[in-house]
Each structure stands twice: as C-alpha cells, then as structure tokens.
Structure 1
Amino acid sequence: MLRLVHGDPRAAAEAAARLTARQRTGLDPLPTEPGALAPELLRALRREIRTLPDDTRQLLLLAAADQHPAVTHAYLRAVAAARLDPRPLEDAEASGVAHATAAGVVFRDDWTRIAAYEAASPAGRREAHRLLARVLGGPGERAGRSWHRAAGALGPSGRLAAELGIAADRARAAGQPTLAAALAERAAALCPDPRAEARLLARAAADAWRCGQPDRAHRLAARTDTPALDGILALRAGNATEAFGALLTAAARQQRASEATELLALAAEAAVYTGDLRGCREACALARRRGIPPPGILPGLAAAVEGDYEQARDLLRAAAAPTCPGADPPLRVPGSTPTLLIHAGMAALMLGDHTRAATATLRAAARARADSTPVTEAQALEFRVYADFWTGRTSAAEAAAQEALRQAYATGQDNGACHLRAALAMFAAVTGDEEACREHAAAARAQALARGLGLPAALAQWASAFLDLALGRFPAAAARLRALAGFGPGHGHRAIRHLATPHYVEAAVRTGDTRVARAAHADYERWASAVDSPDDLALSARCRALLAPGAEAVEHYRTALDLHARGTRDLERARTELLFASALRRLRRRPEARDRLHSALEAFESFGAPHCAAQARAELRALGTPLSAPAARDPAALLTAQQLMVARMAAEGATNREIADRLALSPRTIDHHLRGVFARLGIRSRIELVRLLDTP
C-alpha cells in the first residue's frame, strides 16, 4: 500500500479506508490508479494547483508530464522551444508546491506532481506531451519520444501502437522494465487489433511484475489469456501446483528456444516449491522433444527422484558450475540469466557446497538489481539465507531473511514470503526463541498447505521439530520428523526430509526407536557418499555413531569431527561435539568429554543458540564441572538475534505495534521478546534499555 501511494501516509489512510474486504485480505489486487487510491487528497491538491496563475500551471504541467512514467529530461528544452517564460514558477515556489533547479522542476511530493498533471484539461495535457515529443530525438531518447507521442494521441493508432511496442522492447532490453511496462500498456490502449492488443497486455503485465508492480501485473494479466504469464503469477503468488502445468504448457507452445528454456527453468522451480519432484521428469521429456537441453537443476532433480544419485551428482555439479570462478569450462555468468544462477545456487546447496551456493545467489541478486527486477532479487535471497544459516552465520541469515521477506511482500510474492517465514521459524528454533518459532511455523504452514507449497510446509515442520530436539522433547521431535517422512507433495518435501535425517536419527535414538531411523540413514549415507560432501559425510558418520553400541560409537564420532573440519556447517559440528561428549561421559572418559563440551559450548554461544548451550552446560554439570558466572559483556551479546533486533527498535522509540509490523510478527510476540530482553539484561524499563544499548 505504501509503495502504491508513494509512501504518503495521508494517501495510505484514505486508500485503506476504500479497500474492499477481498482487497484487504489480498484476494484481489489493490487499485493502481491515483484517482481510485486517494480521490479526496487529489481533489484537495488540484484545488491548490488551480489557485496558481495560468502561466505557472502550464510550467508545472509540462514538468509533471516530463517526469512520468520515467524522467525524459525534456522540460528545459521544451520551455526553450516554446519560448515560455520560466519566471512564473516563482509563484509555485512561494506556495511550496514546487521549486526550480538547474535540472528542472522538483515537486513537493509525488501526489502534488500527479495533481499538477490532472488539474489540466485533457487537451492541455495532450499539447504538453506533443511539445515534449518534438524536442526529443537524440540517442537513447526514442522511447521517451514515443511515449509522449502516444500520450498526445486522440485515439487508436496502429502505427503508434507498433512504434510503442518497439520502444517497449528496447526499454526492456536496456533494463528499464518500469518504462517498458508503461509503453506496452499504452501501446495496447492504442492498438486497433484485438490479438495484438492481447500480446501487448501480456508483455506489459510481465514487465510490471518484473519491476515490482504486482497489482498492476495482475490487473493487466486478467485482460489476456497467456499461460506463461499465468504460470509465473501462480508460481509467485498463487497455487504452485497450477503454476507447473501452466509453465509446461507455455514452454511447449513457445517458439523461441531461449524463452522455452527459461519457462522450463521456472517449471522446475514450481516442482521444487510444491515438492512434486517427479514433475521434473515430465519437464525433461518436453525439453528432449523440443530439442533443447534441460535447464538448471531439472535433469539433476529428475535423476535424484529415480534414485540414481551418481548421475544426479554429476548433473547438479554441471548446473552449479557457472558459479565457480575456477570452473572448467570457465565462468559463464554473462550468458546466465538470474533464474539460472538461482538454479546454480540451489544445485550447490543440494551438493552441500555452501560457499558456491552463496556466490551463485549473490550474483543472481546483483544481476537482478542491475536489471531493475526486484522480484528476482527477492527470489535469490530466499536461497541465499540457507547458505548463511548452514555455515553458522545465523544472525546474518536472519537479517537477510527479514530483508528478503520485506522485498517479497513489497513485490507481491506471497509464496516466497511463505518460504522465508518458514526459514525464520528455523532461525528462531536455533536461537531458542520458542514463541517466534511457533508463530512463523504456524503462519508458514497454514499458507503453504493452502497453496500446495510443500517446501515451506516441510521446512516449518522441521523447524518445530528442531526446537523440540533442542529443548530435549525427543518424542515430540521424533514424531514430527517421522510424520514429515510421510507427507507427499504439497504437504512435505523429499529434500527437506533428506536434510532432516540426522536430526531424526538423533531423536529416534533418544526415544529408543531406531528401526526406521536405520533405513533413513541408509539412504542418507548413499547420497552423502555420492556427492562426497564433507558436511554430509560428517553427519552420516554422526548417525552411525548414534546407532552404534557403546564404545563402537567413539571412532565414528572422531571420523565425523575430522570431516566437519573440512566442511562449513559449524553449527552441526558443535552439535556433533555435544553428542560425542555425552557418549564419552557415559563411557567415563571424563577429561576428553569436558574438553569437547567446552568447545561445543563456546560455539553455541557464538552462534546465539541458547538451548543448545544449555544442553552443553547440563552435560558439564553431570560431569561435576563448576560453571562460573558469565563475565560482564556487551549487553547485545546476551540476547538472541531476534531479541537484539527488537531491543534496538524499542530503544529507537518504536512501539510494539510498529516493531511487529516491521518484523512480520504479532504485538504479543514482541511483548514476549521485550520481557525476555529485560530479564536477560536485568532491567525494568525502556529507559534503561536505551542507556545500555547506547553504552560504547
């Protein structure tokens, strides 16, 4: 809403009061025209503009026309060409409406600019656009010239529509999706041919979606029947199961091989989100029929579903290769789209190569930012947080997830937001924030089940199970993870079930039920051996240690720690040390157990994992080791990542409601966080909190 009203709280308040029940709940797109958003505010501003002299209003109209949908920098030339006197702008400056600069006119705000444009008559607006079009003709100004020519047109024109369509293509190629969307939409309005109009509307909708205008994209898409567009919108903001079918249909119809490849890559993403990985085989078959290589992770996923882990490994390595600076063949970033770079990051994650995954997703985000496509940038960050999380950078991952969540909501990607909330549930589980974990997991799972999103549904279930495991609720953790193994597409996900195997084995061993755990570990061992990832092999060795009797476990634990030393999953290394120390204590090998526990405790405290740290302290107490009181430290070091974020916002003066809105949590959860902050810091008020956090 704030984005649509240009961040103006007056317009937001008026627009919010005018929304229908379906618009308030996100079922219908929000209105996108200024007159439908805040008509009362516009009327008041138009009245203010009309009190100004005619010459002043003419200059303001010319400046306003020059600045939307993109600044064409033609105002000063138009003033000179028409021999207009710029001095009447002094009246606008005196009233605070706008002021002149060396580059043109700066309006008080966006709504004043809109009012200055709409206060003029239709004939006056057309004349202003024609004047601007006449002075544009230099290199790189064709798109602006076409826009102003079209805005000055009296009615439909096939010639102008074709000119605008070409200009839209050029703007799109130049990385200007906002301008491309406006040009294509105007071309559709002027086009006399219904079929050409539908094509232009589809392009305008796709451009609007790329540049982060989801409501405009949905409104334009509703006026045309385009499977590719329907599939993209469903993948990001609708039912992902329906998205797969629409994208596959669009890929089959697409004549251009490059665009068919991109659509198949998106179909693979739909299969990943739903958890119906068998759909990857269907997409690969279509690629073979079209005579194009299956893109991204498609072939690797298809092989993994068939159980051919060696082939899956090779195919996933090929998909991840473009991200490696020393790859052979060399890095192919210039020819890789952001979508395929995201696939490369996903492939690296599956292979346990978190460094390469981080590189791929960061490059995808950078490419998307350079292309002015915030939609794709948010998608890249979804998978970036996994790499940060697994390598123990929990605080960084949580901060990145919060920023990605903000972008996902701002660009209308509800499904991506659902995935990110599930990730935040996992971060909260690690940092011991039980209430935030439950809240994020419940919200993510409810939305995921409604939209067939097996990936976030499974991740939310795993987060709840990990929290139970960290709190010592082993039967509950085992039950959740056992249920996860039985969930099909739309409710669960094979990859998440696979990743959760080490935690399931731990919970099952703690409850004495190892029969199913042994079978799960056998499959995990087969995959770990195929991909040869040190982290996966370390976790597999830890599973063997947990399932081994007595002293036999020791060598397996040693093997696991040796492998962890070559990997990047430091949080899991600390958990392995904790489990190893517990086994050593039971074997009465107390000195070595104590050393392992101190190492694990230090790691858990640095990662901000208090519940895991509490388990390590309990083991130390069982060894009879006295625990000294913690030394005085920076107050921020005593808080979890989420608590620290809440504390800083509270110290800056934000209310509980404002903090809740910014973090996508409830005010009740924020109150719970603040009580925890006060308890950990030994304070009683926000005033004391401000003093503590301001202390150098």
Structure 2
Amino acid sequence: MRVRLLHAAHGDPRAAAELAAALTPRQATGLDPLPAEPFALAPALLRAHRRDLRALPDDTRFLLLLAAADQYPVPTHAYERAVAAAGLDTRPLDAAEAAGVVDATAQGVVFRGAWTRIAVYESASTADRRAVHRLLAGVLSGEGERPARSWHRAAAALGPSRRLAAELRLAAKVARAIGDPVLASALAERAAALTPDPAERVPLLARAAADAWQSGDGDRARRLVAATDDDTLAGLLALRSGNASEAFDALLTAAVRHGADHDPDTAAHLLARATEAAVYTGDLRRCREAAAVADRLGILPPSTLGALAAAFEGRYDDARDVLEAAAGRSGPGGDPTGLIHAGIAALLLGDHTRAFTATARAAASARARGETATVPQAMEFRAYAEFWTGRPRAAEAAAVDALRQAYATGQDNGACHLQAALAMFAAVTGDERLCRERAESARAHALERGLGLPAALAMSALAFLDLAAGRYAASAARLRALAGFGPGHGHRAIRHLATPHYVEAAVRTGDTRVARAAHADYDRWARTVRSADDLALSARCRALLATGEEAVEHYRAALDLHASGTRDFERARTELLFGSALRRLRNRTEARDRLHSAREAFDHFGSPHCAEQARAELRALGEQAPAARGTDDLTGRLTAQQLAIARMAADGATNREIAARLLLSPRTIDHHLRGVFARLGIRSRIELVRLLGETTS
C-alpha cells in the first residue's frame, strides 16, 4: 500500500501522508481502489498551492493553465504552437519563475512538482479551461495528432454530444493502435461521459477500464470496472489481484459466452487468461475443464494449458511436444503475453537461456506498446531465468524492481509470486531472516487468494533454507507436505522442481524408499525433455541413492551433464556433494579440487552458508580454506542482500530510504545492518564507508 499511495500521490510524500490519513479501512488494506479526484487525494496540499497561485497576475495564471492543460492529465506537446497561434506574450511567466512555480526552458514550461501542475489546472475557472483546450485543439493538426486533438475538443465541450462521442471512440482506437493506452483510456472514459445514449456508456467504460489496466493504473481500472458490472474485466483483474479460482470461473464463463457468440479470437484470448489462473491455482481439474471447453468450442487450447494438463497426468511425451512448440515462438517483436508463455514453456523444459530471451523480449515489447501492466508479469519469470543462468544479483535486483512495479500497478498476485521468488533467492544466499519474511508474506497472501504456485514456491524456499543449513529432517518434512497439498496450497510443477532437494534431504534422514519413488518420476521427465540440467540433477539423485564407486560414477556423469547446462549453482552443489563423498572414500586429492571449485562458485553466487559447508569439508581434509580478500571477501562474508544494503548505507542512505528501495521494513534493514557489522567486525557506518572504499580501490 505504501507503493500504491506514493504512485497515486505522484511521488510526493506530503500528499501520500495526507491521503493515507483519509483512507477507509478497506482502502487501507487494498480491498477498494484509492480515490480518483486530486482534491480527494490531497486537499490540504492543493489548498496551499492554490494560495500561492492566487498571488500571481491573471495573465501569468492563464499561461500556466495553458501549459498545465497541455501536460495534464494527457501530454499533448502543443503549448508553444498554441502560444504562437494566439500571439501570447510569455513575459508574464517571469513572475511564476520568481515565485518558484515553474522553470521556463527551451523544451517548454516545467512545473516544479506534479501537484503544482494539478493545482494550476484544478483551480482555474471552467471557462478558462475550455478556452485553453480549444486553443490547444486548434493547433493539433499534424499527422498522428488526431487523438490528442479529439481529447482537447472533448475537454472543451459544453455538454453531451453524439458526434463528439463517436469522434472520441475512433480516436481511442487510434491511440490504442499507436501504443498509448493512457490516452486511449482517457478518450474512452470521456466518450462515455459525452454520449447521450446510456446503453453506450457501459461498453465505453469497460474499454476505458481495460486500457487503464494495460497502462498500469490498476486503481483507476478497478473503479471503472465497478461502474460496468463487466464480469470479463472483473475476471481479468481478479487474475492479477483477486482470488485465482474465482478469476478462472469468470474467465472461463466469459470464454464460453464469446465462443457461443461466434467470436473465436476473444474466446481464445479469455481461455489463455483462464489458463494463467489455472496455472496459479495449480488445480489439474481446472486445467482439464479449460481444455474441454477449448475442444467443445473448436479452439486450439493455449499451449501452456495443454502441456500442464499432460504433465500433471504423466503424459510427458505429449507435454514435451507442446512445450517445444510454445517455446519456439519467442522471436523478437512478438505479442508480450505470447512471449511470456514461451518463456514459461522454456523454463519447464529446463532451457533457461531461451526462457531469458523470451521474457526479456516480452518486457521490451510490453514497454514499446505502452502495456505497463505486462512488464512485471514478464519479469516474474525472467528472474528465474537470470538466476539459473548465473546472474543471481541481476535476478534479485530485477525481481525487486518488478515487485515495486507489480505493487504500483495493483497486481498483488504477481507481487506475491515475486515475493516467493525473492524468498528462494534469500534462501540460496543464506539470508534466513529475509527468506522467512518474504516466504511468510507470500504464503499469507497466496493462501488467502488460492495461489498454489507462489505458496508452493515459498514453501520450497524454506525447505532449501533448511537443507543448506543442515536441518535435513525439517527440509524433508516441508517437501513431503508440499507433495500432499491440494489446489491453492501446492503446485505440481514446484514439487517436481524441488525433487532433487527432497532426495538429498530424504537420503540424509535415511528415508530412501520415498526418495527413490520421487526420483523415478523426475528421471522420466528429465529423459523425456532431454534437458542437460535436469539430466544432471537426476544423475546427482542417483548418486545420492547409491554408495561407493557406483555413487562416484553417477557424480561424474552428473558433472559431465552440468557442463552442457546453465544451472551453475546446482553444479556447485553437485561438486560439494561429490567432494564430500570423495572425502569419505579417502580420495583426498580430487575431493580437495571439487570442494575448492564449489566454494569459489558459492562465493560468486553470494551464498556464504553453502561456501561454509565447502570450507568445513576442506577443514575435515586438514586444509584451512582461506577467505578471499578485497571485494570478493565481502561477497564471501555477506549475503547478496546484506551487500546491497551495506553499499546503500555507505552511500549515505538512511534505514528508511533503504527500506523504501527494497520494499522491506526499516526494522528489517536495521537487523541486516547489525548483521553486516557483526560479519565484518566493525561498529559504525564510518568504518563501513572506509571498508567499502578500500575494497573498491
């Protein structure tokens, strides 16, 4: 809610604080959208700005109004042409500059703050507003300026107009086609206000809501949807911010209706969205239901749906063929949603390089099309690909950025998934407190909204945390529970991906019977998709379940396969386990080589607890593994999160500022800094600045 408040308040903390104090309990917890009108957001701040504006001359205020109308709420870049066309004298702007209201630059009038610009527009008379909108509309005659011209013509209208409403509908289509959903939404909403036909208002508002959602304005989209009673849009919004099961039911019902109305394209689109809801819930029954609807309507089912249904039912050959076809549709310039699905398919196939390419292209395509809401969706899955292809810090930074975008755009379910992913990253880097904080946040939201995917991912993060810390019984218990959880609580794909960790934990506790059964299914999938990484992990599981020289041969096979894969962190864990097995077999020379290689990889990943396991094995061989020096020393002693916090603190950021950047609480930042000081053997920020300066130089 802090992120959404700041987003609604245009980044002004004074406005955000004023708005926070006025929220209803449902708004404060995110159940209802935030207020829409500026005066409802920050009335005291607006009043203060208005007092300053009233002190300015009339001709100054008119020039300011002209500039504000050109920028708010839709930027149209026509101010200078309007000034020239009307022969206006711009010298009165000097008074506004002297008062600290604006800066007059070569690029035009720049307001000192968003709320100054809003106050200029909101405090003007209706007649003056109409006058400046007519003036701006008159100069917008260039190629591609039709939507902006229609906007100003509509803003200058005296009342309802069928002709003007029709013009706005066409202008909204143009704005949509050129990738400007913000303008398209404003035009559609204004058309709804100007149409004299009540029957036309609901579809126009629905279209405005869809455009608002695409542009990333989730609160506005929810307000508009509430005025339409459109179950299709309600389902789409619920998919990203509500109950996933309810979203699935609404979207599937809408798909059936559009299919019956001979609208196969819309029906296919809604089935694809229903597929996403089914994926989030982890419910095989829903996957089958959606596939049956697609078959009944004669629509090719979304590839992800068909693949998941086949995989969940054990038809691995069918799943592989469908996933290969989907992953192949990852070329540049494609539809963002299609590219996201291609990325998911590549992840399921274990092809992390292709998954990164597809999701990175999805994010780029979404930005180019103005589909702001789709960017964090792409980043959800790009983070996995970046992490597994050896860029853990880039993955974590991208996930934190995507988390902020998801919250700002009202996509709480996507944010939940990202919290779970960040919990896994924290588990890998050994940051126990952060892992538990992220996982608990994700699980609380996931269980409330029926989101099996992030719930399962959060549980597997906690299980890996236990595994890496040597709490094998606890890790095995968590993963056994994950296997038994039903829809909305667990997820077959996450359970499957966690199988190598479960086998390790189960073997450590002597429970090899269940571990062998789990490995047999995992091995069948690995052999079907022929992913080098999955085959390597299957060979590692086989090594853990064997003894003596047989285990050694399986470990060697696993490392040979890892050499062709991309999951460097798992390769390091294989080397750690292999080195430990070699030490017990008294093959000291090779054991030492494997353990040194594992330690260096863990230091690179910022995984000190795993690196310490390798050092412990080396100490058991009679060798004292030296800690690295310089920046590598910090990487070896601090988790990735601690290192990021240390650098921000050394740059002068306060705990509260660091907390805001990382979407954590100031108390958590304080805990991390105390941990940093303890690990580095220092007592103050001054020493931290000096230490980081030395390592950089």
TM-score between both structures, scaled by the size of structure 2: 0.95
1:553-586 Cα offsets, whole Å, 9 max, x none, are: 1211111111111111111111111112222222
Listed one character per residue, the Cα deviations across residues 265-306 of structure 1 (whole Å, up to 9, x for unaligned) are: 221111111111442232233233333322341221122122
In structure 1, the residue matched to 2:685 is 686
Of 39, 46, 65, the match for 1:42:
46
Q: Distance in 1 between matches of 2:530 and 2:133?
A: 64
Tell me: CA distance 1:514–1:57, structure 2 relative to 1, closer, same or farther (3 Å): same
CA distance in 1, matches of 2:103, 2:660: 35
Distance 1:52 1:303 in 2: 70
- Look up the match of 1:71: 75
Cα displacement (A) at 1:88: 2.6
Aligned-partner Cα distance in 2 for 1:88–1:623: 82
CA gap 1:132/1:631 in 2 versus in 1, 3 angstroms: closer
| Other-structure match for 2:620 | 622
Question: What is the letter of the counterpart of residue 400 of structure 2?
Answer: Q
Give per-residue Cα distances to partners, 1:637-692, cap 9 Å, x unaligned: 33221001110121122222332232222333222211221122221100111122
Q: What is the CA RMSD across the aligned residues, in angstroms?
A: 1.8
Paired position in structure 2 for 1:479: 477
Contact 2:627 2:633 in 1 (8 A): no
Which residue of the partner structure matches residue 264 of structure 1? 271
125-134 or 533-542: bigger deviation: 125-134
Cα distance between partner residues in 1 of 2:309 and 2:200: 38
Name the counterpart of 1:242.
246
Task: Trace 1:300-311 onto structure 2 (pairs within 5 A).
Answer: 300-311=307-318
* CA pair 284-565 structure 1, distance change in 2 beyond 3 A: same
What residue is the counterpart of 2:572 in the other structure?
574
Matches within 5 A, 1:649-668: 649-668=648-667
Conserved 8 A contact 2:603-2:632 = no
Structure 2 gap ranges (5+)? none
CA–CA distance in structure 2, aligned partners of residues 170 and 252 of structure 1: 29
Measured after TM superposition, the shift of residue 630 of structure 1 is: 4.5
> 2:456 matched to which residue of 1?
458
Q: What is the alpha-carbon distance in structure 1 between the residues aligned to residue 657 and residue 631 of structure 2?
A: 29
Instruction: Give 1:536-575 correspondences, 5 Å limit.
Output: 536-575=534-573
Between stretches 369-378 and 55-64, larger displacement belongs to: 55-64
Correspondent of 2:500 among 499, 502, 505: 502
| Residue correspondences, number | 687
CA distance in structure 1 between the aligned counterparts of 2:570 and 2:242, rounded to whole angstroms: 35
Q: CA deviation at 1:629?
A: 5.4
| Equivalent of 1:589 in 587, 591, 594 | 587
Alignment of 1:17-166 (within 5 A): 17-166=21-170
* Structure 1 Cα separation of the partners of residues 654 and 56 of structure 2: 41
Please identify, of 227-236 and 119-128, the stretch whose mean Cα deviation from structure 2 is larger. Answer: 119-128
2:305 pairs, out of 298, 316, 320, with 298
Counterpart contact for 1:178–1:211, Cα < 8 Å = yes
1:99 shift after superposition: 4.1
Secondary structure of 2:228's aligned partner: coil
User: How far apart, CA to CA, are the structure 2 residues paired with 1:176 and 1:259?
Assistant: 21
Consecutive unaligned residues of structure 1, counting only runs of 5 or more, are 324-330
In 1: Cα distance, 2:33 partner to 2:629 partner: 54
- What CA deviation, in whole Å up to 9, does each residue of 1:132-178 have, x standing for no partner? 22232221111111111111112222221111111111101110011
Conserved? CA contact 1:295–1:340, under 8 Å: no
Residue 313 of structure 1 is matched in structure 2 by: 320
Residue 279 of structure 2 is aligned to residue 279 of structure 1: no
Aligned positions of 1:181-192 closer than 5 A: 181-192=185-196
Matched, 1:209 2:207: no
Tell me which moved more, 287-296 or 394-403: 287-296
Q: Quick one: distance in 1 between partners of 2:580 and 2:289?
A: 48
CA contact (8 A) 1:69 1:178 kept: no
Distance 1:659 1:596 in 2: 38
The answer as to whether partners of 1:635 and 1:693 remain within 8 angstroms in 2 is: no
Cα deviation for residue 105 of structure 1 reads: 2.6
* Letter in structure 1 aligned against 2:683: R
Distance 1:354 1:68 in 2: 43
Q: Name the residue aligned to 1:642.
A: 641
For 1:420, what is the secondary structure of its paired residue? helix
Structure 2: how far apart are the matches of 1:690 and 1:265? 51
Greater Cα shift, 432-441 or 636-645: 636-645
SS where residue 3 of structure 1 aligns? helix
Rate the CA distance shift 1:589–1:94 in 2: closer, same or farther, 3 A.
closer
Secondary structure of the 1:551 match is helix
Work out the CA distance in 2 between the residues paired with 1:128 and 1:388: 50
CA contact (8 A) 1:129 1:148 kept: yes
Q: 1:593 to 1:202 in 2, by over 3 A?
A: same
- Give, in whole Å, the separation in 2 of the partners of 1:536 and 1:102: 58
Kindly provide the CA deviation profile for residues 313-349 of structure 1, in whole angstroms up to 9, marking residues without a partner as x: 01000000022xxxxxxx4x44x31011000000000
Give structure 1 regions of 4+ aligned residues with deviation exceeding 6 angstroms: none
Deviation at 1:367, TM superposition (A): 0.3
Secondary structure, in 3 states, of the residue corresponding to 2:278? helix
Contact 1:458 1:491 in 2 (8 A): yes
SS in 1 for 2:328: helix
SS at structure 1 position matched to 2:110: strand
SS at match of 1:568: coil
Deviates more, 1:582-591 or 1:520-529: 582-591
Q: What's the secondary structure of 2:615's corresponding residue?
A: helix
Which residue in 2 is equivalent to 1:444?
Answer: 442
> Which position in structure 2 is the counterpart of 1:337?
335
More off after superposition, 198-207 vs 603-612:
603-612
Give the letter for the 1:351 counterpart.
L
Residue range with higher mean Cα deviation, 85-94 or 34-43: 85-94
Q: Quick one: which of 2, 5, 11 aligns to 2:9?
A: 5
> CA offsets per residue over residues 40-81 of structure 1, 9 Å max, x none?
221222222222222222222222222223222333333333
Question: Is the 8 Å Cα contact of residues 284 and 294 (structure 1) preserved in structure 2?
Answer: yes
**How far apart are the structure 2 equivalents of 1:420 and 1:657?**
22
| Amino acid aligned to 1:430 | V
Distance 1:590 1:78, change over 3 A: closer
Structure 1 residue 628: Cα displacement: 4.0
Show the 5 A alignment for 1:187-202: 187-202=191-206
CA distance in 2, matches of 1:390, 1:632: 26
1:278, 1:305 within 8 Å by CA — same for their partners in 2? no
Residue 128 of structure 1: how far off its partner (Å): 2.2
Q: Are residues 552 and 171 of structure 1, via their aligned partners in 2, closer, same or farther at CA, if it must alter by over 3 Å?
A: same
**Contact map agreement 1:296 1:340 (CA 8 A) in 2:** no
d(CA) in 2 for partners of 1:139, 1:248: 41
Q: CA deviation at 1:631?
A: 4.4
User: What is the CA distance between 1:250 and its match in structure 2?
Assistant: 2.1
Cross-structure match for 1:253: 257
TM-score, normalised by the number of residues in structure 1: 0.95
Partner Cα distance (2:335, 2:68) in 1: 36
Amino acid corresponding to residue 162 of structure 1 in structure 2: A
Q: Distance in 2 between matches of 1:198 and 1:510?
A: 62
- What amino acid maps onto 1:211 in structure 2? S
Show CA shifts across 1:211-239 (max 9, x none): 11111111111101222211111111111
Is this contact kept in 2: 1:604–1:612, CA < 8 A? yes
Q: 1:87-106 deviations in whole A, cap 9, x for unaligned?
A: 33333233232344445432
User: How far apart in 1 are the matches of 2:526 and 2:12?
Assistant: 53
Task: From the superposition, tell whether residues 41 and 666 of structure 1 become closer, same or farther in structure 2 (CA, over 3 Å).
Answer: closer
**Distance of aligned partners of 1:694 and 1:584 in 2 relative to their CA distance in 1, 3 Å threshold:** closer
